[in-house]
Chains A and B, each alone.
Chain A
Amino acid sequence: MTSIILRTATRYMFPPLLVFSVYVLLRGHHYPGGGFVGGLFAGSAFALYALAFSAADARKLLRFDTRDITAFGLAVALISGIPPLFCGNAFLTGTWWKMPLLTGGVLDIGTPLVFDIGVYLVVLGVLLTLVFTLGEEE
């Protein structure tokens, strides 16, 4: 596909889509969103890019191999389950810390967030593995 409209639109759409995907990931704990949807958004951003230009271009933009991202995400999710073991809790029990902010507030930060980031990466990796592989089949 070499539609100039699509290409131009993609150039403008791509960065906000990625930022939005991270936003969806982070807000997921309190509002609709989360790692799964976030990963899907990020994946669709790259899928759009692959459609407008080519799978090879999208790969170049991504820099990392999609399978590496998948494996890394899975590892992150797995590792996020380990800290509770040191507190005598079961594997994957949510463990939380209070992080003081420069602005004076306190941010609750916990392993579920790390887990969600893992999910995000796995979904992104899996999706793009499929899209790129199918898209490159000539």
Chain B
Amino acid sequence: MVALLTICFVAALIAPLMHWALPKYAGVALVGAPLAMLAWLLKQLPEVMHGHPIEQTFQWVEGLGLELAFRLDGLSLLFALIISGIGALIILYTQGYFKGHPQQGRFLMYIIAFMASMLGVVLADNLLLVFIFWELTSFTSYLLIGFNHESEDARAAALQAMLVTVLGGLFLLAGLILMADATGTWRVSEILQRGAELRAHEHYLPILILVCIGAFTKSAQFPFHFWLPNAMQAPTPASAYLHSSTMVKAGVYLLARLHPALGGTEEWTVILTTIGAATFLVGAIMALGQHVLKRLLAYTTVSALGAMVMLLGVGTEESIKAMAAFVLAHAFYKATLFLVAGGITHETGGETSIDKLGGLRKAMPFSFVCAMLAAVSMGGIFPSFGFVAKETWIHALEHHPLLVLATVLGGAAYVLVGFSTGWKPFMGKMPAGLHAHEVPLSMRIGPLVLGLGCFVLAFTCGPIGAALVEPAASAIAADHLHVHLHLWGGFNKVLAISLVTVLIGVGFCFARPFFLGVAGRLGGLARFGPDATYQLLLSSVLKFASWQTRALQTGILRDYIRITVLATVALVGASFIRAGGFQRWENLSPVSVRVALISVLMVLAAFATVHSKSRLRSILSLGVVGYSMAILFTFFGAPDLAMTQLVIETLTVILLALAFYHLPTFSHGSAVRTRAIDAAIAIGAGVAITLLVLAALHVQTPTPVSDYYLDHSYKAAHGRNVVNVILVDFRALDTLGEITVLTIAALGAFALLKLRPKKEEAPK
């Protein structure tokens, strides 16, 4: 398992190289990685079916509870099969879609890296590991949405998807940490067994809400759904893969995974059912008014994700089975429709609106057949797997009339969308000026396999139910469930409801012009929607950032020094006062004459610095202060410091002299008020630091750290000069940080001095 996952990540890394070496076959060759995964998963199928999960664990960071723990059970298996199976088809499809595109290698790298991360999410058995892979999917999704990075829309959409999902990811992390804290383990499988304990824990509700926010943002639940339709800026293979069949299901997966631990309570049911049903309806209704191929599909994806969450929320055995079956059905038909949509746009020179397409059946007969297959399944029409899934779904909701009503309306919208994307572009007359031809072979395999799959699954639904749906549903329910899917359940209430749904859907198809009209009139409402709220928040953050940058970064040196000194004094002073303030004047050694003389000299020199009318004189008096300090160091047995201080003082004088050489002479001194403020700040800083140093004399620690250093300096570090040993050995990492800062400062100064606009080209 770990080896195969590693192979997938390695495949991602070498993808650009492969594309460089074999531009025509890179995609075909790289399909090997997901196929290997797929083969291994199928081989494990019998074991997992019988309820024996496969586990593999390696220690990683023990202290953090982070281990490379992986576990393959029924639920993981269902998702992993979808991810690697569709992944293989998508990679193949990419070969044709990006034919001759110079950046194909980059795309392959991103999408395979995504696939590996997504496999990680569903296979990981450690909360932290789940989170790491979870964030990796957000990150690769960002790269894929922003693949056409020259388009501003694509960049904005990528950023939006990233911000929304990563923000949710932080909530999720908080929830996971609380969960681990409540149960005392990071291992998912152990937490699942301690559900009762967790549900009784005082932090149960916060955990549930935090995890839900994480899952809802990732799975585009209302009101976070807006990023998903915008994410359609991604190239179509990525949309088909990430934003319909896999990544957006990560949230659903997580909720399903944690169902044994968190589910079954009233809070769970209320939150998931409400949000799920709202998302289901909002997505379906929004889809009615769309005319862009991929956006139609995107809104129904939002809707379908809502349906999955809703079914999980209901939480009965039947609804869990229905959810598992629907995950499978949705992955097949939605990916097919996306791939066909990508093909249409690709072969007609970029046309995306279904109202401008038509009559493609002659030019693209193959795509037409695949799209029809998927559309029938999406509409939930006999004899497709979509029909089977919808039958179990309606059956599961029998006791929830309101949810059945929602299902009928939503299902009808699916019929409309299925036929708008799978039927309408191919029928009627081809608009003038539209040229199209069939997609190449590599782009046919994916739609064909998935489109046929919608029906193959339906006719084999008995064994499929037992092999895939049953283990998954059992894992979600943490109980052994028996799943009997059937294609034909006889004439009963469920069939009647299903039929009504399809009929209303057909009615919707005829009423589409009306929906478009309504959508057009209601377009203005978008500025109250969540997308607008996001834009408002984002622009407010940016405005605040630029305001505070302008407020703090005035470009005036005096302000910088004031802020730095005041902040230091305030922070040091505050903690000083909180620690009890200054208390005693004890333990002070008597002041010798020479120290007193030097001190007086320093004070005089400081006054001279401030009062001097010439810069050079100021610098020199400042030098006197510094040299006197060096002399004080020698008095108190700190030759290292004294030596350094002397050289530093000399160099400071030289540097200041060099810098001031370019400045005009003092034209006028500062205003009296400014000087008064500066004097107050300076005196305040001096007093604060003096008090601090005096107080530091009385700080008693049980074993002073200096004893350790003195003790170990020669024995452990082979050095008699403790100061230097501390710098280069005991605290070498600090020194490394310091010299790095020094380097950055030098580069900054260099840039400021060298990269100024020349006088001739000064900004106007």
Tell whether, in the assembled complex, residue A127 and residue B651 are in contact, meaning their CB atoms are under 8 Å apart: yes
B719 CB within 8 Å of chain A: yes
Tell whether, in the assembled complex, residue B647 and residue A116 are in contact, meaning their CB atoms are under 8 Å apart: no
B55 CB within 8 Å of chain A: no
Residues of A within 8 A of B743 (CB): 70-71, 74, 122, 125-126
A83 CB within 8 Å of chain B: no
Tell whether, in the assembled complex, residue A40 and residue B746 are in contact, meaning their CB atoms are under 8 Å apart: no
Interface size class of B (residues with CB under 8 A): 35 or more
Q: Complex Cα distance A73/B643, Å?
A: 22
Mask for B739-750, Cβ within 8 A of A = 1, else 0?
Answer: 110110111011
A10 CB within 8 Å of chain B: no
Q: Complex Cα distance A70/B739, Å?
A: 9
Kindly identify, within residues 59 to 89 of chain A, every residue whose CB is under 8 Å from any CB belonging to chain B. 67, 70-71, 73-74, 77-78, 81
Q: Complex Cα distance A115/B740, Å?
A: 13
Tell whether, in the assembled complex, residue A134 and residue B750 are in contact, meaning their CB atoms are under 8 Å apart: no
Partner of B719, one of A29, A73, A131: A29
Known A-B contacts A92-B733, A112-B719; the reply to A47 vs B654 at CB < 8 A is yes
Q: Complex Cα distance A135/B729, Å?
A: 36
B538 CB within 8 Å of chain A: no
Residues of B within 8 A of A113 (CB): 728
Tell whether, in the assembled complex, residue B728 and residue A34 are in contact, meaning their CB atoms are under 8 Å apart: yes
Residues of B within 8 A of A94 (CB): 716-718, 728-729, 732
Q: Complex Cα distance A70/B720, Å?
A: 28
Kindly identify, within residues 728 to 764 of chain B, every residue whose CB is under 8 Å from any CB belonging to chain A. 728-729, 732-733, 735-736, 739-740, 742-743, 745-747, 749-750, 753-754
Residues of B within 8 A of A51 (CB): 654
Partner of A32, one of B654, B717, B721: B721
The segment from B469-477, B563-571, B655-663 that touches chain A is B655-663
Kindly identify, within residues 632 to 669 of chain B, every residue whose CB is under 8 Å from any CB belonging to chain A. 639-640, 643-644, 647-648, 650-651, 654-655, 658-659, 662
| Shortest Cβ gap from A99 to chain B (Å) | 12
Tell whether, in the assembled complex, residue B742 and residue A122 are in contact, meaning their CB atoms are under 8 Å apart: yes
Residues of B within 8 A of A24 (CB): 643
Tell whether, in the assembled complex, residue A92 and residue B643 are in contact, meaning their CB atoms are under 8 Å apart: no
Residues of A within 8 A of B754 (CB): 133
Q: Complex Cα distance A110/B747, Å?
A: 30
Kindly identify, within residues 16 to 46 of chain A, every residue whose CB is under 8 Å from any CB belonging to chain B. 24, 28-37, 40-41, 43-44
Tell whether, in the assembled complex, residue A110 and residue B718 are in contact, meaning their CB atoms are under 8 Å apart: yes
Known A-B contacts A34-B728, A137-B662; the reply to A122 vs B651 at CB < 8 A is no
Partner of B640, one of A34, A122, A131: A34
Residues of A within 8 A of B728 (CB): 28-29, 34-35, 94, 112-113, 115-116, 119
Tell whether, in the assembled complex, residue A123 and residue B717 are in contact, meaning their CB atoms are under 8 Å apart: no
Partner of B643, one of A33, A108, A137: A33
Kindly identify, within residues 366 to 399 of chain B, every residue whose CB is under 8 Å from any CB belonging to chain A. none
Tell whether, in the assembled complex, residue B651 and residue A77 are in contact, meaning their CB atoms are under 8 Å apart: no
| Shortest Cβ gap from A125 to chain B (Å) | 7
Tell whether, in the assembled complex, residue A112 and residue B736 are in contact, meaning their CB atoms are under 8 Å apart: no
Tell whether, in the assembled complex, residue B736 and residue A77 are in contact, meaning their CB atoms are under 8 Å apart: yes
Q: Complex Cα distance A57/B740, Å?
A: 28
| Shortest Cβ gap from A119 to chain B (Å) | 6
Partner of A29, one of B724, B735, B736: B724
Q: Complex Cα distance A123/B659, Å?
A: 19
Tell whether, in the assembled complex, residue B729 and residue A112 are in contact, meaning their CB atoms are under 8 Å apart: yes
Tell whether, in the assembled complex, residue B644 and residue A29 are in contact, meaning their CB atoms are under 8 Å apart: no
Tell whether, in the assembled complex, residue B733 and residue A135 are in contact, meaning their CB atoms are under 8 Å apart: no
Tell whether, in the assembled complex, residue A40 and residue B648 are in contact, meaning their CB atoms are under 8 Å apart: yes
Q: Complex Cα distance A36/B644, Å?
A: 8
Whose C-beta in chain A lies nearest to the C-beta of B659? A134
Residues of A within 8 A of B648 (CB): 40
B270 CB within 8 Å of chain A: no
Q: Complex Cα distance A127/B739, Å?
A: 12
Partner of A126, one of B717, B719, B733, B745: B745
Partner of B749, one of A119, A125, A133: A133
Kindly identify, within residues 95 to 127 of chain A, every residue whose CB is under 8 Å from any CB belonging to chain B. 96, 108, 110, 112-113, 115-116, 118-119, 122-123, 125-127
Q: Complex Cα distance A24/B717, Å?
A: 19
Residues of A within 8 A of B749 (CB): 129-130, 133
Partner of A112, one of B650, B720, B725: B725
B727 CB within 8 Å of chain A: yes
The 7 closest A-B pairs by CB, nearest first: A126-B746, A134-B658, A32-B639, A40-B647, A29-B719, A34-B724, A30-B720
Known: A40-B647, A129-B750. 18 other contacts (CB 8 A): A29-B720, A32-B643, A32-B721, A33-B724, A34-B728, A40-B648, A40-B651, A47-B651, A78-B736, A81-B736, A115-B732, A122-B742, A123-B742, A126-B742, A126-B743, A126-B746, A133-B750, A133-B754
Q: Can you list 14 contacts pairing A with B, beta carbon distance less than 8 Å?
A: A31-B720, A31-B721, A32-B721, A34-B724, A35-B728, A37-B640, A44-B650, A91-B733, A92-B736, A112-B732, A118-B739, A126-B743, A129-B747, A134-B655
